């Protein structure tokens, strides 16, 4: 008997007698002999709880996380502080262990949390309707493309090179399925090139994809880009960093049709990339094409306020091959974490956090730009992330900084060959002025050492 089952030998006997079977094996007699496994699974024997803990703790100890170093790594996921109330509430059995709320009478907690999430996302993005969440950021961008394809019937997507490379790639992966092409719009000065967009957008364009702030941390000039993007009837999709929306004007203000994004910064752990949540907000006219669950307010037979999954005729379990998305299990618990986090941050907090990041980022940019061999990669406005170009091999610099206990950021060369020594640096509220000063000093030493061609051994 495993520790997660309760059937004793006596139970088994009674149950088999009730079934009228002589053995458990007999219950599997419909499986043809040729496809039955005639040996035990080649997996280790079961372990005690404490042995499992020790094994997993040993694996965890071989990772260098944000607990172990001063990290400036961002590029889509960020080391923000997650308040204790998020853990305490999301670990409650009542939120952790139910299924999708198919029986609304006993799922009001989850349904109301979805409704509150939708409200927060709608407020942040400046768009009237939002769904209860998708898997994560890049696949939400791809989901927006599917909506745009359905809404316009057009065959082409235009993608700013400021869009997260993972979003760009997910979009291309999905597009192979429904037969659309993906074309890049170049950057100029670290932001989407308006002239290039103007030249590319045409009657075949289903949607234009921009990111705010873009992958390089630049705040895009949406006021200039949006009308051009929409000039031929294409939809404007903005992948937005929700945590910058305390200070930045929201996509809805610029006429965006859809705003999507990665919800990890909103109270979700880094977790080596997931689970997090994707958010999806849109103009009212797109509500019946939106992917994902949507909670709606209604009343019960006694007139009491309640919430239900609504507009389910979009969904796969009702519409099957005509559904607007195939999504089923999504990321509800992570959406709950985001909802709690946004309530915790509140109206003043999200503004103050945005201002704090903007000021520290400005300080870090100045501090780093003063270093010999470090050049700003662009001079666009920024909130919590910016890019520099090193006059030294970036990998060597990063190794040297790591030896000093500092993760200096994300090297850009893999995704942007034009900046082989580019470095993307994120400044969350957990990175203080003292940390930034340590980064600057470490970077200065590392760049100088790399330029000097020092060959001394560096700990990986």
Partner 1 sequence: MQRDRAVTIFEKSVSGRRAAVVPEIDVPVKPLEQLIPRDMLRAEGPRLPEVSEPEIVRHYNRISRRNFDLDTGFYPLGSCTMKHNPKVNERVAALPGHARLHPLTPPQRAQGALELMWLLQASLAEICGLPHVSLQPSAGAHGELAGLLLTRAYHEDRGEARHKVLTPDTAHGTNPATVTMAGYEAVKVATDERGGIDVDDLRTKADDDVACLMLTNPNTLGLFDERIVEIAEIVHGTGATLYYDGANLNAVMGISRPGDMGFDIVHVNLHKSFSQPHGGGGPGAGPIAVSERIEPFLPRPQVVKVEGSNGTEPHFELDFDRPKSIGRLRGFQGNFGVFVRSYAYILSLGGDGLREASETAVLNANYLLALMRKGRAGKYLPIAFDRTCKHEFVLSGQRAKRELGVKTLDIAKRLLDHGFHPPTVYFPLLVDEALMVEPTETEAKETLDAFAAAIDDILAEAERDPDVAQNAPYTTPVRRLDEVGATRKPVVRQPL
Least distance (Å) between residue 453 CB and partner 1: 22
Least distance (Å) between residue 335 CB and partner 1: 8
Identify any residues that bridge with 209 across adjacent strands, giving them in sequence order: 159, 237
Q: Which stretch in 77-85, 197-205, 385-393, 449-457 sits in contact with partner 1 by CB under 8 A?
A: 77-85
Among 458, 446, 454, which Cα is nearest to 391's?
446
Binding pattern to partner 1, positions 111-130, x when CB under 8 A?
A: -xx-xx-xxx-xxx---xxx
Number of other CB atoms surrounding residue 69 within 10 Å: 15
Task: 89-92: list long-range contacts, CB under 8 Å, 24+ apart.
Answer: 89/336, 89/340, 90/333, 90/336, 90/337, 90/340
* Binder of partner 1 out of 186, 202, 233, 249 (CB under 8 A): 249
Q: Which stretch in 154-162, 189-197, 229-237, 299-307 sits in contact with partner 1 by CB under 8 A?
A: 299-307
Least distance (Å) between residue 74 CB and partner 1: 8
Binding pattern to partner 1, positions 363-402, x when CB under 8 A?
A: x-----------------xxx--------------x---x
Considering only residues 154 through 193, tell me which ones interact with partner 1, judged by CB under 8 A.
164, 166-167, 169-170, 172-174, 176-179
Q: Which stretch in 152-160, 197-205, 242-250, 448-456 sits in contact with partner 1 by CB under 8 A?
A: 242-250
Distance CA 274, CA 255 (A): 31
Is there binding between residue 230 and partner 1 (CB under 8 A)? no
Q: Which stretch in 15-23, 154-162, 192-200, 440-448 sits in contact with partner 1 by CB under 8 A?
A: 15-23
* Binder of partner 1 out of 155, 255, 306, 420 (CB under 8 A): 306
* Binder of partner 1 out of 155, 255, 349, 393 (CB under 8 A): 349
Distance CA 209, CA 168 (A): 9
Is there binding between residue 404 and partner 1 (CB under 8 A)? no
Least distance (Å) between residue 195 CB and partner 1: 20
Buried b or exposed e, range 339-364, using 16+ CB within 10 angstroms: bbbbeebeeeebeebbebbbebbeeb
* Binder of partner 1 out of 46, 153, 417, 453 (CB under 8 A): 46
Residue whose pair of structure tokens reads 């260098």 in the numeric block: 64
Whether residue 163 contacts residue 210, with contact meaning beta carbons closer than 8 Å, is answered with yes
Which of helix, strand or coil describes residue 335?
helix
Retrieve residue 139's tokens.
């696949």
Name the burial class of residue 403, with classes exposed (0-12), middle (13-18) and buried (19+) by CB atoms within 10 angstroms of its CB.
Answer: middle
* Binder of partner 1 out of 70, 73, 368, 425 (CB under 8 A): 73
């Amino acid at each position: 008997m495993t520790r997660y089952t309760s059937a004793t030998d006596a139970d088994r006997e009674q149950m088999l007698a009730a079934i009228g079977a002589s053995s458990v094996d007999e219950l599997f007699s419909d499986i043809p002999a040729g496809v039955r496994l005639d040996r035990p699974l080649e997996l280790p024997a079961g372990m005690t709880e404490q042995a499992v803990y020790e094994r997993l703790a040993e694996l965890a100890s071989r990772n260098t996380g944000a607990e172990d170093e001063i990290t400036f790594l961002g590029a889509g996921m960020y080391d923000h502080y997650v308040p204790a109330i998020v853990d305490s509430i999301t670990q409650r059995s009542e939120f952790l262990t139910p299924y999708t709320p198919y029986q609304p009478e006993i799922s009001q907690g989850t349904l109301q949390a979805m409704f509150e999430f939708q409200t927060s996302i709608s407020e942040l993005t400046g768009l009237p309707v939002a769904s209860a969440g998708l898997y994560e950021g890049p696949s939400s961008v791809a989901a927006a493309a599917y909506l745009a394809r359905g809404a316009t019937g057009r065959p082409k997507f235009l993608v700013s090179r400021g869009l997260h490379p993972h979003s760009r790639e997910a979009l291309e992966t999905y597009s192979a399925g429904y037969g659309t092409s993906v074309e890049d719009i170049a950057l100029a000065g670290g932001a989407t090139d308006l002239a290039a967009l103007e030249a590319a957008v045409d009657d075949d364009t289903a949607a234009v994809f921009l990111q705010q702030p873009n992958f390089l941390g630049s705040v895009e000039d949406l006021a200039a880009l949006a009308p051009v993007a929409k000039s031929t009837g294409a939809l404007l999709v903005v992948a937005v960093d929700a945590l910058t929306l305390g200070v930045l004007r929201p996509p809805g203000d610029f006429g965006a049709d859809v705003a999507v994004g990665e919800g990890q910064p909103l109270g979700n752990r880094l977790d080596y990339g997931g689970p997090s949540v994707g958010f999806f907000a849109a103009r009212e006219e797109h509500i019946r094409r939106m992917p994902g669950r949507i909670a709606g307010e209604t009343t019960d037979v006694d007139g009491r306020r309640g919430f239900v999954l609504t507009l389910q005729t979009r969904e796969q379990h009702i519409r099957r091959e005509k559904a607007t998305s195939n999504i089923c299990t999504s990321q509800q618990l992570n959406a709950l974490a985001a909802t709690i986090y946004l309530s915790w941050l509140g109206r003043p907090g999200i503004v103050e956090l945005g201002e704090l990041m903007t000021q520290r980022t400005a300080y870090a940019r100045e501090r780093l730009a003063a270093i010999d061999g470090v050049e700003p990669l662009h001079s666009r406005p920024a909130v919590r992330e910016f890019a520099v170009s090193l006059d030294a091999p970036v990998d060597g610099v990063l190794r040297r900084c790591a030896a000093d206990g500092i993760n200096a950021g994300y090297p850009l060369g893999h995704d942007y060959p034009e900046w082989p020594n580019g470095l993307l640096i994120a400044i969350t509220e957990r990175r203080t002025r003292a940390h930034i000063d340590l980064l600057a000093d470490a970077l200065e030493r590392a760049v100088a050492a790399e330029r000097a061609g020092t060959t001394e051994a560096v700990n990986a």
